[in-house]
């Protein structure tokens, strides 16, 4: 019988423990650390660390954060002469404490406006509002917030400009002005135009024209945010890839800013994220109220795998991939476009367990190593 020295046993055991530990600590942010940021959108409760298990998951898996709601204008600027930075201060502090990339969402958006903003009808008053709003918020977090969605969802599906209160009062110039004001308030922050369905051809053409116009007229645009509210079978990988290439050709970064994949049927094959649209529910529209069947889990995993495979192919062009929510239970898709449904669009389920979709994303990196 061969004698094994005790110290060899100890070393071998330590190596085994080390390997096991390394395997267990694999996370999305670590796996993709040399490719692009892996982000998530945080709710108010998550920012305030109301749930320790959720917080542990967030810190382990993600290295970039976006505020899901609390930085929208109805919350940060509720009255003409009043700002409220209580929650946004906590959000930024959370990101700094955990050494995360911090993204500000959003400065100019037609939706979730404070009521007083919707009533602005005079161009001079609107100019004053925009200057005060953007300058105050961006200056306050100068050097602390890494990037901003300066303008959010300014386009219709056909690529024309949305008839928002900003367009009606100021015309197209509001787009250029917004980016100029943001740059002046924090020259080092990355500035993005963010929208949904801009991987679809008509809307993509409109977004490209919009970004070119802003840049030609002296506005600074560092990147485009493709929201990525997608479905199991659409948009096609070809359209997503074409979008990455065409936006990158403008000399800007490409981010996927609000990624989730609905597994539920949508009325009229609805696409995108127009939050004003609501529909009546039915059993047909809520087919998985208790759990997701394995067959759909597999389809979701395959979809995520194919998408991230494409992202890795173009990692030199992509700055960040952010999921819109930490887990399924938090997802806005449980209530949109039909209230009260149970959706399963993210890599983590409502109990915080990772799904096959999570494994499929990680697998792409493991097979390369």
Structure tokens at 89: 């201060």
Q: Please give the full DSSP string across 190-220, using - where no structure is assigned.
A: EEEEEESSTTSHHHHHHHHHHHHHHHHTT--
- Selecting among 61, 190, 199, 258, the annotated active-site residue is 258
**pLDDT the model gives residue 254:** 99
Task: Compute, in degrees rounded to 10, the torsion defined by CA atoms 277, 280, 284, 285.
Answer: 30
DSSP 162: P
**pLDDT the model gives residue 336:** 82
Distance of CA 89 to the CA centre of its chain: 20
**pLDDT the model gives residue 183:** 98
Task: Compute, in degrees rounded to 10, the torsion defined by CA atoms 103, 108, 113, 114.
Answer: 90
**pLDDT the model gives residue 10:** 44
- Selecting among 54, 61, 153, 200, the annotated active-site residue is 153
Distance of CA 62 to the CA centre of its chain: 12
Q: pLDDT per position in the chain (369 positions), as tens?
A: 444 444 444 444 444 443 433 344 589 999 999 999 999 999 999 999 999 999 999 999 999 999 999 999 999 999 999 999 999 999 999 999 999 999 999 999 999 999 999 999 999 999 999 999 999 999 999 999 999 999 999 999 999 999 999 999 999 999 999 999 999 999 999 999 999 999 999 999 999 999 999 999 999 999 999 999 999 999 999 999 999 999 999 999 999 999 999 999 876 455 655 655 555 656 788 999 999 999 999 999 999 999 999 999 999 999 999 999 999 999 999 988 889 899 999 999 999 999 999 999 999 998 655
Distances (CA, A) of 363 to 185, 240, 357: 42, 21, 10
Task: Decide: residue 290, CB within 10 A, 0-12 exposed, 13-18 middle, 19+ buried.
Answer: exposed
Superfamily (CATH) of domain 28-366: Glycosidases (3.20.20.80)
Contact criterion met (CB below 8 Å) for 117 and 145: no
Q: Is 359 a residue of the active site?
A: no
H-type alpha helices, the chain: 6-24, 28-31, 44-47, 52-61, 73-76, 86-97, 115-118, 123-140, 165-170, 173-185, 201-216, 237-248, 294-313, 356-366
Per-residue pLDDT tens over the stretch 189-229: 999 999 999 999 999 999 999 999 999 999 999 999 999 99
Q: Which residues of 142-155 are buried (b: 16+ CB within 10 A; e: fewer)?
A: eeebbbbbbbbbbb
Q: Is 199 a residue of the active site?
A: no
Report the DSSP beta bridge partners of residue 232. Answer: none
């Amino acid at each position: 019988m061969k004698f094994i020295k005790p110290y060899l046993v100890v070393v071998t055991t330590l190596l085994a423990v080390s390997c096991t530990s390394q395997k267990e600590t694999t996370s999305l942010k670590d796996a993709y650390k040399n490719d692009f940021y892996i982000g998530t959108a945080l709710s108010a409760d998550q920012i305030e660390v109301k749930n320790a298990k959720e917080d542990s998951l967030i810190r382990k898996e993600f290295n970039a954060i976006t505020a899901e709601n609390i930085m929208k204008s109805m919350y940060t600027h509720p009255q003409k002469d009043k700002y409220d930075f209580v929650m946004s201060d906590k959000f930024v502090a959370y990101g700094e404490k955990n050494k995360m990339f911090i993204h500000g969402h959003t400065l100019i958006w037609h939706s979730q406006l404070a009521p007083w903003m919707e009533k602005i009808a005079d161009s001079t008053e609107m100019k004053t509002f925009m200057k005060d709003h953007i300058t105050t918020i961006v200056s306050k977090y100068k050097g602390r917030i890494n990037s901003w969605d300066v303008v959010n969802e300014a386009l219709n599906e056909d690529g024309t400009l949305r008839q928002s209160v900003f367009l009606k009062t100021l015309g197209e110039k509001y787009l250029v002005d917004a980016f100029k004001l943001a740059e002046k308030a924090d020259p080092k922050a990355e500035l993005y135009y963010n929208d949904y369905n801009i991987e679809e051809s008509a809307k993509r053409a409109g977004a490209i024209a919009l970004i070119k116009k802003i840049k030609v007229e002296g506005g600074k645009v560092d990147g485009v945010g493709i929201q990525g509210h997608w479905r199991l079978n659409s948009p096609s990988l070809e359209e997503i890839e074409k979008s990455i290439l065409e936006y990158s050709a403008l000399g800007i970064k490409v981010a996927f800013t609000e990624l989730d994949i609905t597994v539920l049927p949508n009325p009229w094959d609805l696409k995108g994220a127009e939050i004003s649209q609501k529909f009546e529910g039915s059993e047909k529209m809520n087919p998985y109220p208790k759990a997701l069947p394995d067959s759909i889990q597999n389809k979701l995993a395959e979809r995520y795998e194919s998408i991230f495979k494409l992202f890795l192919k173009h990692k030199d062009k992509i700055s960040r991939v952010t999921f819109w929510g930490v887990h399924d239970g938090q997802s806005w898709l449980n209530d949109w476009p039909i209230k009260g449904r149970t959706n399963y669009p993210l890599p983590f389920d409502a109990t915080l367990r990772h799904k096959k979709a999570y494994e499929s994303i990680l697998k792409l990196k493991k097979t390369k190593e």
